[in-house]
Structure 1
Amino acid sequence: MQWANFLAKEAATHGLSLKQTAAFLKYFNTENTENLSKSEAKLARELNVDVAAFRKWMREVYGKFAQNYPELAISSSRGKLEKLQTYLSAKYNSESDVLKPLAAMKLLKSLVVRERLQQEAWVARRICKFLGYLPLALELVGRYLDKMPDLSLETLLIRLEKKRLEHELVVNANSLMAYEYGVAEAFELSWEQLDENAQSFGCLLSLCALADIPLSVETIEDNKKQQLNEKAIADLLELHLLQWQSKGIYHLNPLIRQFFQMKLDKSSEVDEAKTKFAAMMLEIAKLIPQQPNPEDILNLTPHIPHITEVATHLSEYLGDENLITLFTKLAWFYKGQGLYQQAETWLQQCVELTQNRLGLEHSYIAASLNNLAGLYESTGRYSKAEPLYQQALELRKRLLGDNHLDVATSLNNLALLYESTGRYKEAEPLLEQALELQKRLLGEEHSDVATSLSYLALLYESTGRYNEAEPLYQQALKLWKRLVGEEHPHVATSLNNLAALYCYTRRYSEAEPLLKQALKLRKRLLGEEHIDVATSLNNLAQLYESTGRYSEAEPLYKQALELSKHLLGDNHPDVAISLNNLAALYRYRGRYRKAKPLFEQALTICERTLGVSHPTTMTVRANYASFLREAYH
């Protein structure tokens, strides 16, 4: 296969537009680095566009490839270029290596009994030549011969030649398929050896992304279905149409994948298969929690390319509600790792797709707008979040009426945004409306009411109205205890909230037992290794610091930091907060050499993950600046 043909195939496979394809081919149209060393300005001139347009197209190209090659998503601009070049080169070599005639015969001999080849040595050499000395074609033919010990090589060659004649019509209709000679005929012979079950299974696998495929038949409850899948996998492995990589992980060669896709497209079951595959990936996506921990990330990562394949190419086979679920879960996967840009992309696509499918007047549009606004709020982009929250609220009121729980949710969301930006007068009536609405619709004894009580108490606390906040926090705590019992994470959260209020009012002797109770409760209910435990450790450490008990605060801050790193990775905003807290303690104790690198790490993480204008980033920056003035002036 020629490099240019390979690139054209890659562009088509990844769904690049004409403009994206032009930029992609211009950048990568040689196998060496000739074009990679050209300036973007020169390449843009060759395409008769400005540099900004060229860069935009390339960003879009990286985004398309990142769906099947996730490492691209977290690389720098230059890193993306180099990684994509390496990825393309490796893939091209794996698909296009042509063996020398002697090496081709050696490969065939490793797959077929030597005596059998010796009996028809001349024919064996003709078969190698016919197959273009391509390793994949030779592997397929070797496996085919191994299954048919009485088949003569002469008969095999006749069958291959017949398959080529049949394939000519398809090849002539698409010049990009010329490279498939040899592999196509070998695949057709193998295809005919598969029973209907294995053929259907192979076609289903072809809908997976160009990535390793996790397969676990043990999770299938239906014994008959489990056995059918096991047999299909075994049959595909035997004919070398599927490769085993490691326990539960398999690989489908890109060319084989394409052949299976061609078979599927020609079958009457194409829509059924795509609907089934989309449903399978949706069920896996539903396992993504809102705050995934490292274990969740590790377990789910092999599935992400295949979930994104559905989101990118098969979203039409998802129901309306499931469309939002799939895209939101993908956003959670990336947000949980601090990869906010990737999370934003999926939520933006969700808004666009739901609007295109359902129009502008639908409750699901409000839900998708609300989710995107939540991401903007969490990254400090309040000016982008506010109009989306407002749209969601107005849309819900218009579609659902003023007396609906979704309206209460939108009121709370918009109010919390106002509170985050210090617009307390605008936030308060919204929180009061939401609480009143929930009480009217759900009654006084409901979890949503307990949550809204805490929200309103937080507002009162933020405005220094501690006497009004305290009874609301106490009501929320009592309500949670009545609803879920004494032993529940929500009770621990309420204990923390009330303790924080006591800390603000310097009632440390009342706060300390509540913080210790919350920490003990979280450890017992959630285990020692949970992010809420890290939060409780931080809170208790802050109390010790506020009361001058520095020797007691330091080990707790360290524990919280190590736990956050272990659970969230080194580059998460929560880790930055822990670094900042420990650095501040060292500063107060005059241990400047220890404080400085921690402040620097905290600021770097915040700027990278949250942006330079996020309140947390600005707080850390202010703390660092104050430290520098104190330590070096």
Structure 2
Amino acid sequence: MSTKLETSDSKAQMAMPNGKPLLLNVSMKMVFLPQRGKISKCRQSKIKNKLYKLFMQWANFLAKEAATHSLSLKQTAAFIKYFKTENLGKSEAKLASELNVDVAAFRKWMSEVYDKFAQNYPELAISNSRGKLKKLQAYLSAKHHSELDVLKPLAAMKLLKSLVVRERLQQEPWVARRICKFLGYLPLALELVGRYLDKMPDLSLETLLNQLEKKRLEHEAVVNGNSLMDYESGLAEAFELSWEQLDENAQGFGCLLSLCALTDIPLSVETREDDKKQQLNQKAIGDLLELHLLQRESKEIYRLNPLIRQLFQMKLDKSSEADEAKTKFAAMMLEVAKLIPQQPTPEDILNLTPHIPHITEVATHLSQYLGDKNLITLFTKLAWFYQGQGLYQQAEPWLQQCVELTQNHLGLEHSDVVANLNNLAGLYESTGRYSEAEPLYQQALELRKRLLGDNHLDVATSLNNLARIYESTGRYSQAEPLLEQVLELRKRLLGGEHTDVATSLSYLALLYESTGRYSEAEPLYQQALELWKRLVGEEHPHVATTLNNLAALYCYTGRYSEAEPLLEQALELRKRLLGEEHIDVGTSLNNLAQLYESTGRFSKAELLYQQALELSKRLLGDNHPDVAISMNNLAALYRNTRRYRKAKPLFEKALKICERILGVSHPTTMTVRANYASFLKEAYH
């Protein structure tokens, strides 16, 4: 696991083809039942309305599942398209053409969708490849049915009895049964009515039923059968009674929450400086919970039922404050997004993950309530969140959209356009798509030269970025003069005593090392090391990184006795400065293990490889390229010590992660694939 040097591009920033996110299309084609005898127009209308509502419920359910499982925009589009009611039975080729993508891309997205569901539901993971999507369809149908399950009449009465004082129901038993029927025996509607009755102890059941029936007549006169408000379960009517129990503040708070994504909502009101506002929000949450319009999942974590969310949204859209509320919510999510650093730590990721679906909701559905500059910031921060975890496929559409938006808003001749070109190119570089990264880096370089002239630090950064592409693709003769030019430019503009100069020395040393010119690389590493020590002191992570790189050079030249103390020093320095739970510590463990393996100390190497693997899993999760590299290295040790049964599953997992995260053509993926193929040849032939 080699250590990557940081670039010095302070403007490096971090989206969807054509600059537009794929919005969820939940429109439905109308399906008519075959007629058997004459059906009145009124009856036909009711049938169509009921079918429409069933389709809408299914579409909303799919949208919620997509958000809950953190599907990317492309994955969500494929998921919704595949499982929409009217598309069942269509070929993959037909569905792909409707999304304007090729079949291979569509299949890839659906495979990724299945994998995400299988992570949470192990029973899906054991399916054979042919029956995977059918099994997912069955799972989704069963879950949807359970969420909207209609109770038997007796079960509905039992639920109502658990919510309302028994004596109260016994006074009007037949009315209680009529209320259950009016509510379509739907548990959610019964919950709302039960909570409402609990707040109105003197209200008779007969009066309640009259109120519900009156609400239905009002809705039928207004909504024309075009929404959930006239759904036959009586849910809308039950919601309306609860809505009228809320004060204006709680109503507004519920409407604001309805703008959140269909997933857990982190709510903390204790951090507000305004005590009065804090008290109002606390009361609003309490009122919503009391009426069962909001569910508390755990401490400071809440959730809206999808149907309640839609009813709140309909209230909001009818109000004169809709635009103001949406602007406010978008601004709130922007402020949260601004907390995402370019290189998020595991702690950052843990703290920010609950907010990401809601930030994404703004980016995809409320983007018109943010100015272009703020929208670019939002896209950038989302990309940083995913890219910092190695989730490049999820970061890419946001980066693409940043480029498109900046070019449209600022024109082609602007420094912010350069920054976004660099960021997108950097992602392509990270995933081994060098042919896509190179023209973007070249475009950024030429643009910077025109805007800033040849003698500018940002031009040096662009030269450095382009040189990295040349080096990664084996064009060392093209990379070398660029790196030398960068070093000379930085020395001239910054002087010899600068951190950027130290970075340039290290990059040039890496190139010399890659071309076998170890005697030329070594003094550059040593110069960089001394420079870092003078500039930042001996107790600094950059010093540890340079020690690590110099030690790697010694290993390449067989000078293990010189490399070992440097690797040990780098490891101890990182533990002391960064703490033992840091990914750079994992890198040092891995590198020291490689040295032990190279010198035949296999038991020591195995222990460090295992520690590195467990650490990377804890910090990065099970699906990260660094985890795959650790698996590959441990598997290689098992192979070298002829423990083939231990090696095989690690190679397989490592290859699967690399192919899914980095793509099949990335150099790391190809290295792991070659190692696995070599292992199979040795172990089974």
TM-score (norm 2): 0.78
Does structure 1 retain, via aligned residues, the 8 Å contact 2:338–2:378? yes
- Name 1:482's counterpart in structure 2: 534
- Please point out which of 69, 85, 104 is paired with 1:29: 85
Count residues in correspondence: 622
State how far apart, in whole Å, the 1-side matches of 2:599 and 2:627 are: 24
Aligned 1:273-292 pairs, distance under 5 A:
273-288=325-340
- Please point out which of 28, 39, 54 is paired with 1:6: 54
Per-residue deviation at 1:262?
Answer: 1.7
Q: Name the amino acid aligned to 1:83.
A: L
Q: Deviations over 1:142-194 (max 9, x none)?
A: 22222222334444344334433332344206266542662222222222222
State how far apart, in whole Å, the 2-side matches of 1:50 and 1:243 are: 36
Aligned 1:119-134 pairs, distance under 5 A:
119-134=171-186
State how far apart, in whole Å, the 2-side matches of 1:599 and 1:232 are: 53
Which deviates the most, 411-420 or 263-272?
Answer: 263-272
Which deviates the most, 619-628 or 193-202?
Answer: 619-628
Q: Deviations over 1:331-353 (max 9, x none)?
A: 44444555433333333344344
Identity over the aligned pairs, expressed in percent? 77
- Please point out which of 302, 320, 341 is paired with 2:354: 302
Does structure 1 retain, via aligned residues, the 8 Å contact 2:223–2:230? yes
User: What secondary structure sits across from 2:202 in the alignment?
Assistant: coil
- Name 1:261's counterpart in structure 2: 313
Does structure 1 retain, via aligned residues, the 8 Å contact 2:581–2:619? yes
Q: Name the amino acid aligned to 1:91.
A: H
Name stretches of at least 5 consecutive residues in structure 2 with no aligned partner.
Answer: 1-48, 67-72
Which deviates the most, 170-179 or 131-140?
Answer: 170-179
- Please point out which of 562, 565, 568 is paired with 1:513: 565
User: What secondary structure sits across from 1:217 in the alignment?
Assistant: coil
User: What secondary structure sits across from 2:296 in the alignment?
Assistant: strand
- Name 2:136's counterpart in structure 1: 83
Per-residue deviation at 1:245?
Answer: 1.9
Does structure 2 retain, via aligned residues, the 8 Å contact 1:293–1:568? no
User: What secondary structure sits across from 1:244 in the alignment?
Assistant: strand
- Name 1:425's counterpart in structure 2: 477
**2:311 is the counterpart of 1:311:** no
Does structure 2 retain, via aligned residues, the 8 Å contact 1:28–1:85? no
- Please point out which of 344, 355, 364 is paired with 2:416: 364
State how far apart, in whole Å, the 2-side matches of 1:215 and 1:133 are: 32
State how far apart, in whole Å, the 2-side matches of 1:521 and 1:582 are: 24
State how far apart, in whole Å, the 2-side matches of 1:349 and 1:503 are: 43
Does structure 2 retain, via aligned residues, the 8 Å contact 1:531–1:564? yes
Aligned 1:100-179 pairs, distance under 5 A:
100-172=152-224, 174=226, 177-179=229-231
- Name 2:512's counterpart in structure 1: 460
Does structure 2 retain, via aligned residues, the 8 Å contact 1:382–1:417? yes
Which deviates the most, 159-168 or 486-495?
Answer: 159-168
Does structure 2 retain, via aligned residues, the 8 Å contact 1:67–1:308? no
- Name 2:586's counterpart in structure 1: 534
Cα gap change, 1:332/1:57 in structure 2, threshold over 3 Å: closer, same or farther? same
Per-residue deviation at 1:206?
Answer: 0.4
State how far apart, in whole Å, the 2-side matches of 1:128 and 1:55 are: 50
Relative contact order (alpha carbons < 8 A, sep ≥ 6): 1 or 2 greater?
A: 2
Does structure 1 retain, via aligned residues, the 8 Å contact 2:269–2:282? yes
**2:189 is the counterpart of 1:189:** no
Per-residue deviation at 1:233?
Answer: 0.8
**2:431 is the counterpart of 1:383:** no
State how far apart, in whole Å, the 2-side matches of 1:595 and 1:120 are: 71
State how far apart, in whole Å, the 1-side matches of 2:116 and 2:607 are: 42
Per-residue deviation at 1:518?
Answer: 0.8
- Please point out which of 78, 86, 91 is paired with 1:40: 91
Cα gap change, 1:571/1:164 in structure 2, threshold over 3 Å: closer, same or farther? closer
Aligned 1:379-418 pairs, distance under 5 A:
379-418=431-470
Question: Alignment RMSD, CA only?
Answer: 4.1
User: What secondary structure sits across from 1:419 in the alignment?
Assistant: helix
Cα gap change, 1:122/1:360 in structure 2, threshold over 3 Å: closer, same or farther? farther
Does structure 2 retain, via aligned residues, the 8 Å contact 1:3–1:92? no
Aligned 1:463-612 pairs, distance under 5 A:
463-589=515-641, 595=647, 598-612=650-664
Does structure 1 retain, via aligned residues, the 8 Å contact 2:230–2:236? no
Per-residue deviation at 1:319?
Answer: 4.4
State how far apart, in whole Å, the 1-side matches of 2:102 and 2:679 are: 44
Per-residue deviation at 1:317?
Answer: 3.0
Cα gap change, 1:174/1:414 in structure 2, threshold over 3 Å: closer, same or farther? same
State how far apart, in whole Å, the 1-side matches of 2:517 and 2:105 are: 50
Does structure 2 retain, via aligned residues, the 8 Å contact 1:23–1:58? no
State how far apart, in whole Å, the 1-side matches of 2:678 and 2:257 are: 58
State how far apart, in whole Å, the 1-side matches of 2:521 and 2:472 are: 17
Which deviates the most, 56-65 or 582-591?
Answer: 56-65
State how far apart, in whole Å, the 2-side matches of 1:71 and 1:333 are: 21
- Name 2:44's counterpart in structure 1: none
State how far apart, in whole Å, the 2-side matches of 1:21 and 1:379 are: 23
Does structure 2 retain, via aligned residues, the 8 Å contact 1:4–1:29? no
Cα gap change, 1:253/1:430 in structure 2, threshold over 3 Å: closer, same or farther? same
Per-residue deviation at 1:530?
Answer: 1.8
Per-residue deviation at 1:211?
Answer: 1.5
State how far apart, in whole Å, the 2-side matches of 1:573 and 1:419 are: 21
State how far apart, in whole Å, the 1-side matches of 2:253 and 2:273 are: 18
User: What secondary structure sits across from 1:311 in the alignment?
Assistant: helix
Q: Deviations over 1:355-388 (max 9, x none)?
A: 4554544433333332222222112121122122
Per-residue deviation at 1:443?
Answer: 4.8
Q: Deviations over 1:74-98 (max 9, x none)?
A: 9989645643653355235424x33
